[in-house]
A and B are shown apart, each in its own frame.
Chain A
Amino acid sequence: DTEVTQTPKHLVMGMTNKKSLKCEQHMGHRAMYWYKQKAKKPPELMFVYSYEKLSINESVPSRFSPECPNSSLLNLHLHALQPEDSALYLCASSQGVLETQYFGPGTRLLVL
C-alpha cells in the first residue's frame, strides 16, 4: 500500500465552525507533513511530525492545530478560520525526513 489518504475531499465551513482534516498512511512512514497550497502557487509547509512528535511548526496561526495520535494518522484541527485560509491542504509522508515524500490527494477547503 503506497497510498496517503485524506478526508474529506472537500470542506466548506463558516468562520465560527470547528472542523478536522484527516490523513492516513499505512506505509510505516515515520515523518508526516501538512502543506497549504493556494491556487497557482507551490505548496507551503505548515507542520512536520517525526516519530509522532511535532518537529517543525512554520509559524502557523494557532487556529490550525495539528495532532498525530499514532504513527499512521495525522489530523489538522481547524477553528475560527478566516476566508484567506481557503486553500488546498495537502498531507504527505516519508520514511525519514530526507526521503521521498508521498502526497495525499488533498482537502479543498472553503471558508465562508
Chain B
Amino acid sequence: KNEVEQSPQNLTAQEGEFITINCSYSVGISALHWLQQHPGGGIVSLFMLSSGKKKHGRLIATINIQEKHSSLHITASHPRDSAVYICAVNTSGSRLTFGEGTQLTVNP
C-alpha cells in the first residue's frame, strides 16, 4: 500500500462543474502539497498546507490532520484546468512522497 493514496485516478467533468480530488496518507507529515502538472511536463505548486484550509482563486485545499486526509476542490471548472493533480507530503526532512496523481479532463 502506498503511503499517499489519491482518488479518483481519472476524472472527467463538464465545464462549470465543481470538482473534488482526495488524498489520504498513512504516515506522519510536516506538510502536504498539491501540485499541478500540464502535458509537456512543467509542475506548478498550488498549495502547501499543514492545517486548515487555503483558497486561491477557484481552488480550495483543505486538510484534516486527525483523519490524515486532504481534498482539492475546483469551483466552476474550465477546460484549462485539465491537468494531472498530484498530492505530495513531507515525511522526513526535504523528501516529498508523491501520490500517483489524478488525471482531470474538463470538457467544454
Contacts and interface: CB of A to CB of B under 8 A. Distances in A.
Interface in B21-75: 30-31, 33, 35, 40-45, 48
A103 B44 contact: yes
Q: Please classify how large the interface on chain B is, using the bins under 10, 10 to 19, 20 to 34, 35 or more.
A: 20 to 34
B90 interface: yes
Interface string A23-38: 0000000010100010
B41 A108 contact: yes
B42 A105 contact: yes
A98 B90 CA distance: 7
B31 A106 contact: no
B62 to A, nearest CB: 17
Most buried by A among B40, B94, B95: B94
Interface residues of A, number: 27
Secondary structure type dominating chain A contacts: strand
Contacts of B45: 100-103
A50 B94 contact: yes
Given A45-B96, A101-B96, A106-B42, 13 more contacts: A31-B94, A43-B96, A43-B98, A48-B94, A56-B93, A88-B41, A90-B41, A90-B43, A92-B43, A98-B93, A101-B33, A103-B44, A106-B43
Contacts of A33: 94
